[in-house]
Structure 1
Amino acid sequence: MSSIHSLYNKALLQLSLSPTIEGGDYQKAAELIAKSATVGLNVTRTSIWSLDPGFHEMVCICLYDNGSFQEDFVGYRLSEDDFPKYFKALAEQRTILASDARTHKDTAEFTESYLQPLNIYSMLDAPIRKEGKAVGIICCEQTKEIKEWTVEDESFVGALTDIAGRSLIAVDHRKAEKELKQLNEELEQRIAERTKNLEETIEELQNTQKQLVESEKLASLGSLVAGVSHEVNTPLGVGLTSSTLLKEKVQHLNTLFDSQKLSQSALTDFLKDARETCDILENNLHKAANLITNFKQLAVNQSSDQIFTFNVYETLHASLVSLNHILKKGHIKSKLNCDKALKITSNAGELSQIATNLILNASIHAFNENSVDPSIEINVTEPSHNELEIRFSDNGKGMSEDIMKKAFEPFFTTKRGQGGSGLGLHLVYNLVTQKFKGNIVIESELNHGTSFIINFPTRLENS
C-alpha cells in the first residue's frame, strides 16, 4: 500500500469519526471537509457548493483558500446560462478531472472569468449525493501550476463526498428529531387537555346522576345511557382508530430513522398525516365531550314533574316508534293493545320513560341469536274505574328465580361489561312505586318469556 494511500485512509478515518459530521450542522461539517480535502490533496483551495435539483445553479457554502476560510466567497453563485458545458457535466453526475482546467472540455469556459484571474490551473470536481441524487459539489483547485490528478486523488475526494452526504442526512435526522419531538409535545398537550376536559365533564355527570337518583327526579337513565353510549361510541371509535394509525406512522418513522432511510419526502408526508390525524382526533374528542354535556342536560330537563291529562295509547305508541330502529335491528316485532281513546291524569313523560326502559330491557336481555320470531307485546286494561294495568310481555328466554329476585336492585345486570348499567329496572321500580303510587311485579319462566305487570291509579294530584 502506497504512503499516499495510507495518508488518505488516515485522514478519512479521522474525518469520519469527527462528531461534527453527524452533528446536524452542515456548515461546520462542510468547512471541516473542505479543510481536510485541501490538506490531504496538498492543493491551494477547496470549496463546497450546493446544487439545485434541476442542475441550473450552484451556490458556494464555504471556501478554504491558503490556510483560511474566505467568508466573502460564501453565497457566490454560478449559473448554467454562463457555463453550460460545466453544468451539463454536473447533470451527468460524474467526477470532473481537469489537470489542465483551461483546456479541459468541461472547464475551459471558466478560463477568462474565473481561472486566469485567480491563477487556477487544475480542478477536481466531484458530486455530493444524497439518496442517490447529486445535491452539491466538492471543488478542489490548484493554483500556480498544473496538478496531475491520480486515481488515489479521485478515490479520496469520492470518499469525502460520501462523508458530506452523510452529513446532509444527519441534518435531516436532527430536523426530523426536533419536529417529531415538537409534534409529540403538542400531541401530548392536546390529549392531556382533552382528557382533563373529559374527566371534568364525566365527574360533573356522575355528580349530577347521583343527585338525580337521590332526589328521585331522574328520567329514564337506562334509555339515556343506551342513547349516549351509541352516540359517543362513534367519535370515540374514530378517535381510537386515528390514534392507532398515528402510532403506527410514528413507529414506521422511527424504523426509517433508525435504519437511516428517512427521506425528506417521507418526513413531510408524515408531518402532514400527523397534523391531519391530530385534527381528526381533537374534533372527535370535542364531539364526545359535547355529547356527554348534552346527555347531562337532557337528564336534568326530563326530571321535572308535569302532571296533566293525556292519551295513554299515543304516549306508549310514541315510545315504540322512538325505539323502532333498535327493534328493527333485532328483528323484534311489537304490538300495542290499548283503547285509543283511553286518557289518564298523570305524568306522560315518566310513563314514556317506564315504557322505554322496559322495551329496551327486553330487546337487550330477552333475546339472542337463536330466538325465533322475537316479539314484544304491550297490553293496557282497566281492572277498575280508577286503576290502570299495563303488561309488558316478551316471548324471550325468560328469567331464573334468582335473577327475578335481584332484577330491581340498583346496578344489578346480567350484561356487565357489555353495556348494561344495572339501573334501568331499578329506576322503573322507583318511578312506578314512588311517582305513580303503584306496584310492579315480574312473571317469568325460563324459555317461556317474561312479563312486567304494572298497576297504578288513573289520577294523580300535583304534590
Structure 2
Amino acid sequence: MPEETCLSPAPAEVEALQAEVARHKKIIEILMDHAEQRRSTRSSDFGLFQTAVMLEDQIRERTRELEAALHENEKINRKLQHTQAQMAGEIEQRKLAHEALEREKEEQKVLIAKLEQATNQLVQSEKLASLGSLVAGVAHELNTPLGNSLMVASAMAGRIDEFAQLLAEGTLRKQALLDFVEYCRNAATLLQRNSQRAAGLIGNFKAVAVDQTSMRRRRFDLRQAIDEVLSTLQPKLKYTGHRLEIDVPAGIVLDSYPGPIEQIITNLLANSLQHGFEGIAAGTIRIGAEAVADGQVTLRYADDGIGIGAADARKVFDPFFTTKLGSGGSGLGLYIVYNLTTAVLGGSITLSTAPGQGVLFELLLPLVAPDNPLAEEESYAA
C-alpha cells in the first residue's frame, strides 16, 4: 500500500495539471481565432495553422495523460479506502480480542488466587494430618508406661491391704515387713521409671506440637530438636525392621524456627516409610549434621531404599506430584519440605538419588534465619 500511495499524484498536482489544460485550450482558441482572422484578411498562413495543430495535438496528448493519471488516482483512492476499511475492521477485531484477553487475564487472576488459597488450605491440612499422626503415635506409646504404672499401682494396693490385715490381726512378722518394704521399693522404682517415660513423651510431644503450630522463632540446639521429634516418631518405626542412625553433634545452636525443621524431618521420614522402603523389610535411615563456614549448617537425611528415577527426581518438589495418587499420597510432603527450607528457614535443598541407591537430601541452612513475615503470619494464624 505505501508504494501505491507514492505513485498517485497529489491533489495539488492534479489541480495544477487541470489548470494547465484549461490554459492551453484558451491559447488554442485564441490562436485559432487569430488564424481565422489572418486567413480572412491576409490569406492563409499554413505555418501558423500547422503550429496550432501541433499544439492542439500536444495538449490532447497531455490531457489524455492527465485523465489516465486521474483515473489511476481514483483507482488508488478506492483501494486506499478499501484498505482503510479493512484496517478499521482489523483494529476493531483486535480491540475486541484485547478486551477479551484482559477479561481472561482477570478471570485467571481470580482462579490463581483461588488455587493458591486451596493449596494453602491443603498444606495446612497436611501439616495438621502430620500432627494428628504424631498425636496417635504418642497416645499409643503412652499406653505402655501408663498401663505398667496402673498395673503396679493396683498390685501395690493389694499388698497394702494384706499388710494392713496382718497388722490388724497382730500376726505381722519381721520377714513379712521386710518383704513388704522391698516390694514397695521395687514398685516405687517401676512407677518412677514409667512416669518419667510418660512425662518425657508428653514433654517432647508438647515441644514439637507448639513449634509446629506456632512457627515460633527461638534459639535451640539442633540435636535436641531432632531428638524431640524422633521420640514422637518412634511408634512409626517400632513395629518395622527399619533402623535409625543419628550423627548430629550437640552444640550446634540455631537462632531459627525449630517447627519447620521438625516438620521437615517428619515429612522425610514419612516419605521413606511410604515410598523409599516399599518392598524392603529392613532399611536404614541416617540423619547427620555439621557446622560449615559462613555461619551455616548442613543437615543430611538419607535412606538406602529403592531410590527415585531421574524423571521423577526432577519433579519431587512440585506440588501434588506423587507416585501414590489414590493410595494415600497427597503429593504435598516434599513440596512442604522445599517451601519450609527455602521460604521460612532461608536455606537450600538438593536431592541426590538413583534407582536402587536410596536418596540423600542435603539442606544448607543459616545458623541465624532471616526475618520471615510468612512465618510470623502463620504464627498469628495458629
| TM score, norm. by length of structure 2 | 0.44
> Which structure has the highest helix share of the two?
2
Larger radius of gyration: 2
> Which structure has the highest strand share of the two?
1
| TM score, norm. by length of structure 1 | 0.37
Q: Tell me which of the two structures has the higher relative contact order, counting C-alpha pairs closer than 8 angstroms and 6 or more residues apart.
A: 2
